Chains A and B, each alone.
Chain A
């Protein structure tokens, strides 16, 4: 009977360890950049979704339905294979000279996740009493400024638990970027497997690394929540 020889040393040191490490580095980069952009874009879409101006509201609604209801993998392929056909040559040249795979993955992850974040923030905004908006407006703040200084800061604090969820999803979803050749953690684990046939070790290592990343995100956001939020909740 075939007997599998475990060899953990290959993922703990040497060339393959370095591959995994560089994959981890790319995953972190991809996740952080996409988290920041998707959060900002999510805020913008949430505000547009609640706008008094109908076409703006409709656009945001269409955006949400469109990007929430199509598979992320299709969106990644669209931005990677499809977008250069509609972009001007100048931009394409620039993208080709820089890291196009990485850029396409950031665009896809950002847009996809921002749709979910926007909905979470919107429900956070709806839980803020409308008197808060009245108080801000009667001080002379415009609608947008009221949102910026008074409503959104409160709504985002309330939205932190679902936001952690979206950030974790984004980090895990970033593994799909391997399909367009972004050399992130999953891609590298796959490489290690192809070269060594040690699939169990390689993917166990990758799994553990994903768990650690997720825990770090959770701890960081919760810590922020405790420090910033506690005075507001105190009674």
Chain B
């Protein structure tokens, strides 16, 4: 579904992605973790070309992103993206946030788009907020609407860029629950997160990044019990220590 082959990216002199090689199969859930500034957000943003790559090959859903003939808008419509800061459209109601792209891009009728939106709102537990505006919702509610908005396009891949990092602790659980439900439904997902509980419980594989490189790639059990790389051991100790 997604293949990185020798991908490099630079921000001026900064080598943010250094020889990235990953393959993600359909239905797989991949968690990307690592200290801040390790390049994990950049990595996930290259998949829908929010960040272009400088070198290497990146194939997403059978399309080569370096091919200038690829219709990027068409590709992006197949990829749901959930941001750290939710980025809901503040001038539109929850309902309009969810139905805008299906109506304008997928050419769905308003009625179909709204009934689909109701199903999605039910799934994320926010039916009663359908007429509210984003600023009237809590962070956790906004993020659940953002997930529903992404799902409304019936994406083949879902990307999550630190979806719980901007949330108050008591709201993280409700968002993770929606994501877990999504993973179990067979969605192909790449999740950048520090939520190690989610990684160990839900993911198929964990990738650990530091300084733009992938230092470790393993099944979650193996990664948490027996991290090989020294930086990974140190990172896990820092992330997990509050619990111990």
Given contacts A138-B50, A140-B74, A145-B104, contact A157 B87 (CB under 8 A): no
Number of A-B contacts (CB under 8 A): 67
> B residues near A, CB below 8 A?
48, 50, 73-79, 81, 83, 85, 87-91, 93, 100-101, 104-105, 133, 135-136, 149-150, 153
B87: contacting residue among A132, A142, A153, A234, CB under 8 A: A132
A78 near B: Cβ within 8 Å? no
Instruction: Tell me the complex Cα distance, A141–B136, Å.
Output: 26
Instruction: Tell me the complex Cα distance, A153–B105, Å.
Output: 18
15 extra A-B contacts, CB within 8 A, seeds A131-B83, A141-B101:
A131-B87, A134-B50, A138-B79, A139-B76, A139-B149, A140-B77, A140-B153, A149-B100, A149-B104, A150-B89, A154-B90, A231-B93, A232-B90, A234-B133, A235-B136
**Minimum distance in angstroms from A149 CB to a CB of chain B:** 6
B133's closest neighbor in chain A, by CB?
A: A231
**Given the complex, which residues of B lie within 8 Å of A140, measured CB to CB?**
73-78, 101, 105, 153
**Given the complex, which residues of B lie within 8 Å of A154, measured CB to CB?**
89-91
A146's closest neighbor in chain B, by CB?
A: B73
Chain A: residues with Cβ within 8 Å of the partner, total of: 23
Are A138 and B90 closer than 8 Å at their CB atoms?
A: no
B73's closest neighbor in chain A, by CB?
A: A140
**Given the complex, which residues of B lie within 8 Å of A157, measured CB to CB?**
91
Instruction: Tell me the complex Cα distance, A232–B150, Å.
Output: 21
**Minimum distance in angstroms from B135 CB to a CB of chain A:** 5
Instruction: Tell me the complex Cα distance, A154–B79, Å.
Output: 25
Are B136 and A137 closer than 8 Å at their CB atoms?
A: no
Task: Find residues 111-152 in chain A having any chain B CB closer than 8 Å to their own CB.
Answer: 129, 131-132, 134-142, 145, 149-150
Instruction: Tell me the complex Cα distance, A130–B89, Å.
Output: 12
B88's closest neighbor in chain A, by CB?
A: A135
A-B contact pairs, 23 of them (CB 8 A): A131-B83, A132-B89, A134-B83, A134-B87, A135-B87, A135-B89, A138-B50, A139-B101, A139-B105, A139-B153, A140-B74, A140-B76, A140-B153, A141-B101, A141-B105, A142-B73, A154-B89, A157-B91, A231-B133, A232-B91, A234-B135, A235-B135, A235-B136
Given contacts A138-B50, A234-B133, contact A131 B81 (CB under 8 A): no
**Given the complex, which residues of A lie within 8 Å of B81, measured CB to CB?**
135, 138-139
Closest 3 CB pairs of A and B: A140-B77, A135-B87, A138-B81
